[in-house]
Structure 1
Amino acid sequence: MKILILGHKGMLGSDLLLRLFAFHDVTGKDIEDFDIASQGACEEVIAETEPDIVINAAAYTNVDGCESDSDACFSVNAEGVKNIALACRQKRIKIVHFSTDYVFDGTRKTPYQEDDKCTPLNVYGKSKLAGEQYLKQFSDNFLLIRSAWLYGKNGKNFVKTIIEKARTEKLLKIVDDQVGAPTFTWDLAAAVQLLIEGQHTGIFHITNRGNCSWYEFAVKILKSACIPEVTVKPIKSDELERPARRPHYSVLTCRKFSETTGKVMRYWQVALDDYISKMGY
């Protein structure tokens, strides 16, 4: 298959490129290479490569930054998806697009399913939901994947931040009232490959197995990286006074993915150990 990855230099996009290039004809375009907010630019970049599949891994992911820059956030996460969907529809090209656990409000006590009601709490979540709605409206051949708490080799992420802070600070204060599923982008990319090669469509939730709070995640990171001399103190979200509200519980069930592919994602602890080993921490 001929695949075009938009946002191929990002944390997820770069792992998708590495996973897929050995098996398919893969081309990458970064968000810096074209104006995703322009329908004409999206049509041009897709026409240049004539792909069978477009994977949109481009996104505005600064959750707190979205609160003060909603125009830029919606232009990438919503209008950009609309433009890509319209360009692909003209040529009957399949779209793979990524969304987030933050489309949910976190009031449930059990994992969210693909068809649960979406009521985002922040601008970022609202922009991603708008992107989902545009995708459904303008494409009849799509794969929409919601994931959560991503970390990988490229770009900033929570794992890197905790390890960097631990080098200079002996006390880390981390929230313990937000629960989700940490997800290694390498594992997510492998799952996407399965769905693409199986020619599946629709909405899928994909994360590593299990769940934890950000506090528990931080404790495990330091343990895996063999940094025992740092104290991690649990705090509540209200103590941080961050611009964007976060859901208290945003765990996603991956049952549909497992039943569809016959594959089960690794536990988040195992994936994290693998990541830290690969990164040489």
Structure 2
Amino acid sequence: MKVLVTGVGGQLGYDVCKVLSSRKIDHVGVDRKDFDITNEQATHDYIVNYHPDAVIHCSAWTAVDRAEDELEMVKAVNTEGPRNIAKACREIGAKMLYISTDYVFPGDGDCFYEPEDPTGPLGAYGATKLGGELAVRELLDRYYIVRISWVFGINGNNFVKTMLRLAETKTELNVVCDQIGSPTYTADLAPLLCDMIETEKYGIYHATNEGVCSWAEFAEEIFKIAGKRVTVHHIPTSEYPTRAVRPLNSRMSKDKLEQMGFHRLPTWQDALKRYMAVLSEVNHQQCGKL
């Protein structure tokens, strides 16, 4: 099998390529410097020339607040980019795995969203990611759409790194407590995606680490593992206004994973503990080189 991975410079694309390398699967990881996914001809030429059996599309515009003010650009990246990739995949008969998001849902209530539940994004980011989903579904039969949330990994910025940085100078923090979802560790997700593309089990999936929490509870667990004495004040979203509206309910059911023969990911607490151990080791190695 031959695999093309977009977004190799991001958290998930980096870990997907690591897994493919460990499995000795022929692959290439690409980023914006290799070709611009918003350019249909450039995307077509690169993919057709490389001629992969599968494309794992990890790259995306993820600056949720900026998306509200730069709609044309975010639409080009999150909707037209996947469309361009899907067109090329259709031409060469390649499978496509598209990474989507909890933001495609309206985030109301407290039930777990099923993959086939009605969507209803609240802002530009979710709307454009849903546009990408629809483009893939329109153009391809052999596709996987995998919705994830609250991502953290070694290669890039994320909530965990932000909390640890703030803990260096703060003893108290206000963190939102009424947005509920599931963190997703890219090192746990990447093997699942690589398993998926080796099957013919196409369709829409949800894949996050097991369990749910609020951002405030997530922050408290980070400080607990790190041994940091930081008091987390639980505040409602209404006291922390942002440019883009966040979904309050990002609970997503992973039952379909089991139904289709895939393994669920470990709990988010277990994932966080392992991630922070790796993060500590990386930081130690970097300090040793100074």
Does the alignment reach a TM-score above 0.5? Answer: yes
SS at match of 1:5: strand
Matched, 1:89 2:90: yes
CA displacement, residues 98-143 of structure 1 (integer Å, 9 cap, x when unaligned): 0000101111321100000000011100010011011111111111
Shift of 1:193: 1.7
**Could you say what secondary structure the match of 1:64 adopts?**
helix
**What is residue 195 of structure 1 aligned with on the other side?**
196
More displaced 10-residue stretch of structure 1: 197-206 or 74-83: 197-206
1:178 and 2:179 are equivalent in the alignment? yes
Give how far 1:48 is off. 2.4
Cα separation, 1, equivalents of 2:8 and 2:201? 22
Q: Deviations over 1:233-256 (max 9, x none)?
A: 111112122000011111111110
> Helix, strand or coil for the counterpart of 2:248?
coil
Give the structure 1 partner of residue 61 of structure 2: 60
Tell whether 2:144 aligns with 1:166: no
Aligned-residue offset at 1:261: 2.1
CA apart distance, 1:262: 4.6
- 1:273 aligned residue: 273
Q: Is 101-110 or 254-263 further displaced after alignment?
A: 254-263
One-letter code aligned to 1:91: I
| 190-199 or 109-118, which deviates more | 190-199
Q: Are positions 1:248 and 2:248 aligned together?
A: yes
Superposed CA RMSD in Å reads: 1.1
Deviation at 1:197, TM superposition (A): 2.1
Indicate the residue corresponding to 1:213 in structure 2: 214
Give secondary structure in 1 for the equivalent of 2:106: coil
> Which residue is equivalent to 2:155?
154
Structure 1 unaligned segments of length 5 or more: list them: none
Identity %: 40
Task: Please list the CA deviations of residues 142-200 of structure 1 after superposition, one character each: whole Å capped at 9, or x if unmatched.
Answer: 11100110000011100000000110111111000100000101111111122122332
Classify the secondary structure of the residue corresponding to 1:261.
coil
Q: Which amino acid aligns with 2:38?
A: A
Task: Report the equivalent of 2:235.
Answer: 235
Is this contact kept in 1: 2:89–2:96, CA < 8 A? yes
Q: What CA distance in whole angstroms lies between the structure 2 residues aligned with 1:262 and 1:202?
A: 13
Number of residue-to-residue matches in the alignment: 280
Change (3 A) 1:59 1:262: closer
CA distance in 1: counterparts of 2:165 and 2:20, whole angstroms: 31
Note the alpha carbon deviations across 1:69-106, whole angstroms, 9 max, x for none: 11111110000011111111111111011000010111
Pairing 1:261–2:265 present: no
Q: Does 1:26 align with 2:31?
A: no
Structure 2 unaligned segments of length 5 or more: list them.
284-290
Question: Match of 1:127?
Answer: 128
Q: Contact conserved, 2:180 with 2:215, CA < 8 A, in 1?
A: yes
1: CA distance between counterparts of 2:104 and 2:148? 11
Q: How far, CA to CA, are the matches of 1:134 and 1:264 in structure 2?
A: 27
Taking structure 2 as the reference length, what is the TM-score of the superposition?
0.94
1:16 aligns with 2:16: yes
**Matched residue, 2:106:** 105
Structure 1 length normalisation: TM-score? 0.97
Q: 1:172 aligns to what SS in structure 2?
A: strand
The aligned residue for residue 6 of structure 2 is 6
Aligned: 1:75 with 2:81: no
Give the conservation status (yes or no) of the 8 Å contact 1:31–1:58. Answer: no
Report what 2:287 is aligned to.
Answer: none
Letter in 1 for 2:159: F
Correspondence for 1:43? 44
